[in-house]
Every structure is written in C-alpha cells, then in structure tokens.
Structure 1
C-alpha cells in the first residue's frame, strides 16, 4: 500500500514510464538516424542508439517513473536487464530487416518493431524486479 501511495500505483507508474519511454525513444531514434546519416553500419548504429537511450531512461525511470532510491544492487539489476534486452532488441531489429521487403521504410519500421518489443519487456521487468520497492512487500492486493 505504501508503494502505491508513494508512486501512484501501476497506472501512475505506467503513465510516467510512457513519458520516459518517449524521451528515451527520441534519444534512441535521434542517435540512430544521426549514426545512419554518418554511414555507420546499421547494426552498430542500433547498438549505439540503444545504449544512449538506455542511459537516459535509467536516470528518469529510477528518479521519476518508479520513484525509488538508487544503489549498486538496483543499478546492477538494471544493467543485467538491459544487457539481455540489448541482444533481444538487436536480434529483433536484425530479424525485421531480414524479413521486411526492401524499401525506404524498412529500417525505421525495424527500429519501431524492436523498440516496441523492448519497451513491453522492460516495463514488466522494471516494475516486478528492478524498481520494486523492497521495503514494502505486502500481501495487500489493493
């Protein structure tokens, strides 16, 4: 109950997570577009953009979306999650590029698809594991 009151419950967290996600996605897509414009290899561009968006999202998610204090354990959990998601998102991006027909829209659509998959997985894991308030674990279902 204390966690819900402090953080606005799951809907409050989800709303703030969406705002953070938009900011992270703008950073991610901007870096991706810039790297592609500079003729960086598409997979390296996606990796670089993911890292930049992830760093920004961590700070915003921890302080604002989930409203929890930091700590080495939380940062380590976040890094582990995003380490796994790095390969999931890069794999999804590569798979989408491999199966989509050629066209000017294939690269941006592959980014959107990989970002959507990553965002969904991230919210669930951040809420349930990384940013769970360990001080107020209760059986209260409300």
Structure 2
C-alpha cells in the first residue's frame, strides 16, 4: 500500500505524515481574527455569556418541552436531552466568543467534568420541582428557570475563574 503524494494529480493537497497522532477535538468555530484575546473585561464576558446562554436556553427548553409535552417523555429524559443540546451549544459559543480561548483538550475535559456536575444539579432540580408542582407548562417553565439559573451561575464562575484560564 503506498502513501498518497503531496499535491496529487487531482489538485487536492495530501497529508504526508500518516504517523503523527492527532487528538480528537470537538467541533470548533473560528476566532474572529484568528488570535485569542485575553483582554475582555468582566462586563463584556457577562453580557456575552448571557446572550449565549439565552440562545442555548431556548434550544434546551424548546427540546425539553417538545419531548415532555408532545412526545410524552418523562421529566428527567426530556430535561436530560434538552440539557445536552443546550450545553453543547453553549460550550462551543462561550469558548470562542465569550472567553475567546484557543482549543485545548485539557480544557474540553474540564468543561465536560463541570457539565457533568451541573447536569445532575440542573436535571435534579428540574425533576424535583416538576414532581412538587402541577404538570402545567407555566410550572415547567418555572422549574426550568430555577434549575437553569442555578447551573448557569455555577458554570460562569467555574469557567471564568478556572477553566478558561487553563492553558
């Protein structure tokens, strides 16, 4: 078996080094100017975090309500899948736009661990409140706000003070 040559006849460049290990990385969005900026102040980061969180929250709550009320999924399954969609979106946007951090496998693992913790806080609070209150959309929204608000505060503090300061 032979290796493809650089600049193969089809005009597409080929990777010459097939022995170099490459770490798997999550989906990445490009930085605005290609270089990370560490000069964003707290106010800017909070505003960007809030905008990202609002958009991710719409995805989270929308999927949760759809699965719970339309599909008939149990509270914890609906919220779990909503949480996964929302937090994945939030991580990708926050890493690039809010904290303007370069890709890092260590940072990705730290965020995954943090999201694992906040997953149980978020889903646990939502499920507990959903069992305490009537099964109506307004109460589901209130449970979502309490659970998401708690998880959001934990996420912002840990990401700003620890995770996005990691190299």
TM range (shorter): 0.7 to 0.9
Structure 1 position 133, deviation (Å)? 5.4
CA RMSD of aligned residues (A): 1.5
What corresponds to 1:65 in structure 2?
Answer: 98
> Does residue 9 of the first structure (1) align with residue 45 of the second (2)?
no
Task: Tell me, in whole angstroms, the C-alpha distance in 2 between the residues paired with 1:31 and 1:82.
Answer: 18
Q: Which runs of 5+ in 1 are unaligned?
A: 135-142
TM-score (norm: length of structure 1)? 0.84
Q: Deviations over 1:87-122 (max 9, x none)?
A: 01111112222333x252222211111011111111
Q: Give the counterpart of 2:63 among 17, 21, 31.
A: 31
More RCO (CA 8 Å, sep 6+): 1
Task: Tell me, in whole angstroms, the C-alpha distance in 2 between the residues paired with 1:68 and 1:26.
Answer: 24
CA contact (8 A) 1:7 1:67 kept: no
Q: Give the counterpart of 1:21 among 43, 53, 76.
A: 53
CA contact (8 A) 2:64 2:82 kept: yes
Task: Tell me, in whole angstroms, the C-alpha distance in 2 between the residues paired with 1:6 and 1:74.
Answer: 16
TM-score (norm: length of structure 2)? 0.72
CA contact (8 A) 1:93 1:114 kept: yes
Which structure features the higher share of helix residues?
1
